Structure 1
Amino acid sequence: MHDVLVVGSGIVGLAHALSAARRGKSVVVIERNMRPVGASIRNFGLIWPIGQPLGRRFDRALRSRSIWTELAEQTGMFFAQKGSLHVVHQEDEYRVIEEFVELCSSAHLDVRLLSADETIAKAQSVRREGLLGSMWSPFEVNVDPRQAIPRIADYLASAYNVEFRFGVNAVAIEDGVLFCADQMVEFEQAYICSGQDFEILLPGVRQESELLRVKLQMMRSSALPMDWELGPALCAGLTLLHYDAFSALESLPALKDRVANERPEYLSNGIHVLLSLNSARQLVMGDTHEYGHTLDPFMRTDLNDLVMQEISRLVDMPPINIDETWIGIYAKCLHRSEFVKAVSDQITVVNGLGGAGMTLSFGLAEEVVGGTYQGD
């Protein structure tokens, strides 16, 4: 018998395992794969508070960032606290970041508008041609997810005696017991954090939760020379259309209308550009977004070409080879920032964080496990 069962060893599951273990609970984590291979290792590795609306979600992101900082100190993982730049080239993009900076100023947050010269000083990788300026935020952090996720699991096992059972297929659950293909696991409290596999244990959840799958395409370059630096994590004007932090701004519709008219292929394929530099000095680049219940499993090279065109417009960099391309799939809740549902006194589903799992999971887990969670 364990105090807490967690199904899923991605970032959401690890966050709930950590939160419970810190409260002195005995924890077991069940994972159907032999190691984490899902969306939690197929991302930019960015903790990205600036994409969250100011208020409860932004505060949750900052709490997550604080826990990430503690874990980095304990595990020695790559942890680059370099902030972010939203780089803009059009007047309508500039108006959006200008309006957002005013909101941040009212909330006493150190988010600033930078001129073109100040942007280049902050990130010499940024291409000057057509540059109007940028928005600087100090809050964003870059980790290497392929390194971070296993190290967090190892830390939980060594520091808190969290038990990980990999290669175990969960097939059914009821109060107090999880039925697997080759064993049963008894528990007092369970958190189902199964990502895109949300239908397996609780098939009725999809209809109630409005969960969708989101497919993204990403790329990783060869290692960059030691004398070239990206600087802060970079994004551009298209990113302003993607994150909820900007969705209510009065200046946003004009930007969206222009992109819809001039670059409809970017809007229809959910393309916005982010760049991060990992622990091996490889650029992680993307991405695209396709939404649905059943998604096309194939990689589209034309979409990667569109991403690379936007990157070439954004940064000056040495010639690179694309060493890897991949597809990631995560679960997203249509009308909420996450889906948290106590289906019984002993079983809680936590899913649908979309692309914000790295940013929000640790803060969310503190609320869910601590009994203080309130939805949007």
Structure 2
Amino acid sequence: MSQPYDVIVIGAGIVGLALARSHAIRGRSVLVVDREDRTVGATIRNFGLVWPVGQPPGTRFERARQSAQIWNELATEAGVEIHTTGSLTLAHSDLELRVLREFAAAFGKGIEVLGPEEAGRRSPAVRTEKLAGALFSPHEHTVNPRTAPAAIVRWLSERAAVQFRFGLVATRVEPGAVTFADGTRAAADQIFVCSGPDLRTLFPRELAAAGVTVCKLQMLRTAPQPAGWKLGPALCAGLTLAHYDAFALCPSLAELKQHFAQARAEEMRWGVHVLVSQNGDGGLTLGDTHEYGATHDPFQREALDRLVLAYLDEFACIPERSIAEHWTGYYPKLAGKSELVLNPMPGVTLVNALGGAGMTMSFGLAEEIAAVGAPLS
């Protein structure tokens, strides 16, 4: 067995990297292990959006804002690509606009309702002809999820002395030690299991008992937009109001969901709500859909991509619409909760099921866990 570490993190997705950072900057020795040769899961298969506006006011919103602050620090320290873009949520009916006004009045924090013309000035992609209004939030950021993990790994290795062992599968965890598939072991005072949608390898009974399931989603990316064309704020529209917990405080939301159940039955069946972000080579990331279950079929449904693109065309006009990439993503979800933090045995903590908000919430959550010097439950 190797020299003991203060902390072992199993999983080099964004949750695991956030925990490694928070412990390393406090002077703790950290080992991160991952079964893959590099980060390839939900951490790179997303919009790259840090999305505080989707979190309810209070603890979760402040956690999201802390995460955004840490992302900005990593932009300086680790060279992570990040843009402060804000977001526009577009309304195309009086009912959708009523929900936005209720949200802005209750939420505050610099969030404002705009008229169609002003929304159009904020982003060249906004279709204004049928627009009733828009909600602008200044809090959102866009990172490049395809390059950010490698930059964070490099920074943690070089500046914080975090050790990484990729291509190594953890097969057993017990208090104080982890056993790997190659027969080696490593010891640590604290062990964090951040295994994402792998619900079968480590602590399967505990994860099943907690009610963790897996969400499958479909996403697309356009070819690069013309040189110099900028989306500006990340975009979404009315269906997003039915997706994020933040809007539950709006008195008119129940009426809007009833309307969607009839007028948008197919979109609601497949959990379609459309976000648009721009990063990297200038292409636009589009999506997504949501299917829930323990096991999913491996097939991508063209009909669902068509639903996403049809809804996109209702609220946005983009100059380069050709699709360069399609993919599926998988993330763990715990109904009714924003995350799972569970201590199945002394010195061992499961941190999982951030429900598709890993980019938004992981760094803030990791700070809360590391600040107390022991696992939270």
- TM class by shorter chain equals over 0.9
Could you tell me whether the CA contact under 8 Å between 1:47 and 1:359 is conserved in 2?
yes
Work out the CA distance in 1 between the residues paired with 2:257 and 2:357: 22
Asked if the contact 1:11–1:40 (Cα under 8 Å) also holds between the matched residues in 2, the reply is yes
Residues 239-264 of structure 1 show CA distances to partners (whole Å, capped at 9, x for unaligned) of 00000001232110111111111110
Asked if residue 135 in structure 1 is aligned to residue 138 in structure 2, the reply is no
Distance 1:131 1:25 in 2: 52
1:83–1:233 CA contact under 8 A, matched in 2: yes
Deviations 1:108-133 (CA, angstroms, capped at 9, x unpaired): x1000000011011112101121111
33, 36, 41: which one aligns with 1:33: 36
State the 1:227 CA deviation: 3.6
1:7 aligns to 2:10 (yes or no): yes
Which of 20, 35, 43 is the aligned partner of 2:23? 20
The equivalent residue for 1:95 is 98
> What's the counterpart of residue 334 of structure 2?
333
Deviations 1:319-353 (A, max 9, x none): 43211100000001112110001122210000000
1:54 equivalent among 48, 57, 67: 57
| CA deviation string 1:31-81 (max 9, x = no partner) | 000001100000000000000000000010011111111001112222110
Write out per-residue CA displacement over residues 69-120 of structure 1, whole angstroms, 9 at most, x where no aligned residue. Answer: 1001112222110100001111111011100000123xxx100000001101
- Secondary structure of 1:255 counterpart: helix
8 Å CA contact 2:123–2:232 kept in 1: the answer is yes
Note the 1:1-376 alignment, pairs <5 A.
1-105=4-108, 109-182=109-182, 183-371=184-372
The alpha-carbon deviation at position 205 of structure 1 amounts to 1.7
Question: Does the 8 Å CA contact 2:34/2:168 hold for their aligned counterparts?
Answer: yes
Report the secondary structure of 1:316's partner residue: coil
User: Aligned partners of 1:122 and 1:370: how far apart in 2?
Assistant: 39
Distance in 1 of aligned mates of 2:376 and 2:53: 21
Q: Which amino acid aligns with 1:369?
A: A
Amino acid paired to 1:39 = A
What TM-score do you get using the length of structure 1 for normalisation?
0.97
SS, match of residue 203 in structure 2: coil
Kept in 1, the 8 Å contact 2:236–2:274? The answer is yes
- Residues of 2 paired with 1:335 and 1:342: CA distance? 19
Q: Secondary structure of the residue that 2:197 maps to in structure 1? A: helix
**What SS does the corresponding residue of 2:357 show, helix, strand or coil?**
helix
Unaligned ranges ≥5, structure 2: none
> How far did residue 221 of structure 1 move?
0.8
Matched residues in 1 for 2:176 and 2:230: separation? 52
Q: What is the SS of the residue equivalent to 1:72?
A: helix
* C-alpha distance after superposition, 1:339-368 (max 9, x if no partner): 001122210000000111000000000111
Q: Output the CA distance in 2 between the equivalents of 1:319 and 1:151.
A: 29
Q: Residue 224 of structure 2 contacts residue 320 of structure 2 at CA under 8 Å; is this kept in 1?
A: no
- Greater alpha carbon shift after TM alignment, 27-36 vs 309-318: 309-318
Q: What secondary structure is seen at the aligned counterpart in 1 of 2:356?
A: helix
- Could you tell me which amino acid in structure 1 is paired with residue 257 of structure 2? K
CA distance in 2, matches of 1:277, 1:43: 11
Say whether the 8 Å CA contact 1:199–1:205 is kept in structure 2: no
Greater displacement, 267-276 / 246-255: 246-255
Q: Assess if the C-alpha contact under 8 Å between 2:125 and 2:316 holds in 1.
A: yes
Structure 1 stretches of 4+ with a deviation exceeding 6 A read 372-375
Q: Distance in 2 between matches of 1:11 and 1:166?
A: 15
Aligned equivalents of 2:230 and 2:316: distance in 1? 11
Matched residue count: 372
SS at match of 2:251: coil
Residues of 1 paired with 2:79 and 2:207: CA distance? 38
Shift of 1:18: 0.3
Q: What is the RMSD computed on CA atoms of the aligned residues?
A: 1.2
Distance in 2, Cα, partners of 1:123 & 1:264: 29
* Percent of paired sites with the same residue: 45
How far apart in 1 are the matches of 2:296 and 2:318? Answer: 34
The 8 Å contact of residues 24 and 30 in structure 2, kept in 1 or not, is answered as yes
Question: In structure 2, how many angstroms separate the alpha carbons of the residues matched to 1:206 and 1:156?
Answer: 29
Letter in 1 for 2:187: E
Looking at structure 2, the residues matched to 333 and 153 of structure 1 have their Cα atoms a distance apart, in angstroms, of 28
